[in-house]
Amino acid sequence: MNKVDEQFSEVQNWRRHLHRHPELSFEEKNTALFIAEKLKSFGLSVKTQIGGHGIVAELEGKEPGKTIALRADFDALPIHEENDTPYASENPGVMHACGHDGHTAALLGTAQMLSKYKEQLKGKILFVFQPAEEKPPGGAKYMIEEGILDNVDYVFAAHLASELPLGQVAVGAGYQMAAVDKFEITIKGHGGHGARPNEAIDPIVIGSEIVQSLQKIVSRRLDPLKSAVVTLGVFQAGAAFNVIPDEAKIEGTVRTFDEDVRDLVEKEIHSIVNGIANANHANCEIDFLRGYPSLFNHPEETATVNDILKEVFNEEEVVALEPTMGAEDFAYFLKEKPGTYFRVGSRNESESTHYPHHHPKFDIDERALLNIEKAFIKIVSHYLVD
């Protein structure tokens, strides 16, 4: 564990290289080549082009035992970086604004370090580098469909957290991130002159009624002890102040934890939209896309990680993970195998590290990468050494 600190400059350089050369989801060709090259230099068995640009490196110990998968994501976001740093993005309009460059560098460091201790391992480690976390249907689904978890016993992942101070690690069991769904509603009315609304079927008025009614799903249709969010982000219609358009478009997102709630919300959206459209003599089309499932941290493995990380960090630094309605496609891994997802603090006293994820000025205290490494190494030690 002490030798991890000696890696800092190398891990930092990897992270900064990745930060300078970000690539969007499903387009991470050069990033994947960089990762594979490093893994091969560690003497690991490496498979590429899994579910797209996904990579899996294997480290097999001297003795048989359990198999653990450690996962990092490596795609960037369509955001123009506003930071003035030596490692700022050189790809205009694309930025590592969520910390995936850090996740990748930290897992590379973990792989490099553990490759030196092969003789002490009882079992196998899969280092999973996953593309396209930011864009549904996501890279996790495709990698799993190619069988990367078939012989895996446990899965673990870490995510940098700008809301947590450097040194803290947040761990929590149960539902921690929401399922994310997207819907598009197209209302087809009949356009006309703004002075003669009686001759038209106004999709704006109909759409406005739909917007108001959809907000009642959570407040009036769900068990108040259940959680859900229905948010509308797009309402597009018309091009002139005195013309009633033919169509209106509404787009939104649904966030839920419970699958029964997820089903109910989707059913209610269809019922409300069709009912209002029919009552107003309009036609409508509804496209409901189910995205990532909710992320559920398995209680036994989460309790284990919570306990063993207190041996690495001070007990007060291992804090409770607070559930969020954000989404994460590591949820697919946890639906297949037991494990947990935890967050690692990356904020320091500098304001530059206080910006939230997906902000054009997002940045991290890079010492947090070593904390991810130390957490992963402790998890491996517990399951494959102790």
Ordered alpha helix ranges (H), 88-202: 100-114, 139-145
Helix (H) or strand (E) holding 301: helix 299-309
* Cα torsion 102, 108, 109, 114: sign: positive
Q: How many Å apart are CA 175 and CA 262, to the nearest integer? A: 14
The conformation of residue 177, written as its DSSP 8-state character, comes to: E
* Cα torsion 129, 99, 184, 273: sign: positive
Which residue type sits at 47?
Answer: K
Helix (H) or strand (E) holding 234: strand 228-237
The conformation of residue 175, written as its DSSP 8-state character, comes to: E
Q: How many Å apart are CA 51 and CA 26, to the nearest integer? A: 10
Catalytic residues: 75, 133
Look at the block and give the residue holding tokens 């490759």.
115
How many CB atoms sit inside 10 A of residue 335's CB?
Answer: 13
Q: What Cα–Cα distance (Å) separates residue 193 from each residue in 235, 240, 334, 360?
A: 21, 10, 55, 43
Query: Please, what's the b/e burial string for 243-274 (b: 16 or more CB within 10 A of its CB; e: otherwise)?
Result: ebbbbbebbbbbbbbbeebbebbbebbeebbe
